[in-house]
A = this chain, B = another copy of it.
Amino acid sequence: MRYGAEWIASPRRLAGVMSGTSLDGLDVAVADFWHDGSRERFSLVGWHHVEFPPLLRLRLRRLHEEPCSIAEVAELHWELAVQTAESVRQCCAALGIQPDSLDAIGVHGQTVYHNAARRDERGYGIGLQLGNLSAVAQWLGTTVVGDFRSADLAHGGEGAPLVPLFDWAFLRSEQDSVATLNLGGIANVTILPAACRPEQVRAWDTGPGNLWIDAATELFFGKRCDEGGRIARAGRLVPQLWEALLQIGFVRQPPPKSTGREFFSRSRLQELLQQTLTAAVPAEDVIHTLTRFTAWSVAENLRLFGGSCSRLIVSGGGAYNDFLLELLREEMPTLEVQRSEAYGIPVQAKEALCFAYLAYCTLGGRPGNLPSVTGARRSVVLGVVAAGAGWKV
């Protein structure tokens, strides 16, 4: 376990495991990372998506919505470790490699609470990720890095977003100003001015990504998501709902800012729907209006705070929503909207890849947060490292 400069001097193979606010499951990406003298490079070995068992999804959702016993929190902490280890095993099996041949695994963990709002009052925001890192490391025989957000929160940062360092390392351009957009449960953007240095990167959450679209699609159509945006495309705008959505102050609040499932909750959505819908409103109109809101809130954030970008590189599950991408192009006609696949990054694996990279940075002794992005007082090496087989000396 000679981590630091020595460790990062050799090419390394890492897995990253991401589970987002949509609570749908785990994305695993395996990639090689190295430095070619001028820039850092990565090469994706493969990726894999594993659905959470329905009961686990339900239990995680309940954790957000009602009081629970500490026994249930502990049970989920371990059940998520089981799922995490199993997802890495499955991904490795599909790639024909052994989990303990990985140099390390970066695990985001399941965010069950995130509240950076009170950081001005007490000097730091707080958050909580579940998923026992030590158990994953022991079961797979590999070093595991996780809890990436706490160190940034501890220094007064929002603890999010953390993808921007990855964006800077691999998606910045010497000629163009580039924006990246991740459409997970929450949507976030990174702004990379042409030839920017890390301290010039800006990034923030813009509002809901798929969270409310998925919730309404489940509510009205009994489906987990609006595939390709086909339902939304068939609907029309519901003016009262639209007006109510425009009142949500978070969208136009200046960055740095981050949000989560607590704020864009199901109960808030249900309240909005109850206040604005009449019995005559077709269900697809609701999905249409929520999809427009996601597109508008992203566009509004780029217009207000994004400077002049020439490219928007889209990733996350929402990048599969063709109608949403059309709306983005409509909202921002001067922008070239691309999926991240064009850069060797499968849209659904980008965040998993990012946490593999953040683990690479931590074990290399390098900071992983960008204070310009999170608002932290300093840049620091992120995370905690769970001893695995790599720990043996």
A residues touching B (Cβ–Cβ < 8 Å)? 1-6, 63-64, 67-71, 73-75, 77-78, 81, 112-113, 115, 124, 126-128, 132-135, 137-139, 147, 150-151, 153-155, 262, 362, 364-365, 380-387, 391-393
Contact among B68, B112, B151, B393 with A68 in the assembled complex (CB-CB below 8 Å): B68
List 20 A–B pairs whose Cβ atoms lie within 8 Å, in order of A's numbering. A1-B365, A2-B2, A2-B3, A63-B70, A71-B113, A73-B113, A74-B113, A78-B124, A133-B384, A134-B147, A134-B382, A137-B151, A139-B154, A151-B386, A364-B393, A381-B387, A381-B391, A382-B387, A383-B386, A384-B385
Q: In the complex the two chains form, is A70's CB within 8 Å of B393's CB? A: no
Q: In the complex the two chains form, is A362's CB within 8 Å of B384's CB? A: no
List the number of copies, as a whole number: 2
Q: In the complex the two chains form, is B73's CB within 8 Å of A384's CB? A: no
- A64 CA / B69 CA spacing, docked (Å): 8
Q: In the complex the two chains form, is A134's CB within 8 Å of B4's CB? A: no
Which residue on chain B has the smallest CB distance to residue A77?
B128
- A383 CA / B132 CA spacing, docked (Å): 11
Residue from A6, A155, A262, A385 having most chain B Cβ neighbours under 10 A: A385
Which residues of chain B come closer than 8 Å to A151, judged between CB atoms?
Answer: 134-135, 137-138, 386-387
Q: In the complex the two chains form, is B135's CB within 8 Å of A150's CB? A: yes
- A156 CA / B206 CA spacing, docked (Å): 44
Do A5 and B70 form a contact, CB below 8 Å, given A147-B134, A384-B386, A387-B385? no
Given A73-B113, A137-B151; 17 other pairs, CB 8 A cutoff: A1-B2, A2-B2, A67-B68, A68-B70, A77-B128, A78-B124, A134-B147, A134-B382, A135-B151, A135-B154, A138-B380, A139-B154, A364-B393, A381-B392, A383-B386, A385-B385, A385-B386
Q: In the complex the two chains form, is A155's CB within 8 Å of B128's CB? A: no
- A134 CA / B152 CA spacing, docked (Å): 9
- A77 CA / B124 CA spacing, docked (Å): 13
Do A154 and B133 form a contact, CB below 8 Å, given A1-B3, A70-B113, A71-B113? no
Residue from A70, A113, A393 having most chain B Cβ neighbours under 10 A: A70
Minimum distance in angstroms from A138 CB to a CB of chain B: 4
- A154 CA / B134 CA spacing, docked (Å): 8
Q: Which 3 A-B pairs have the closest CB atoms?
A: A4-B393, A365-B393, A134-B150
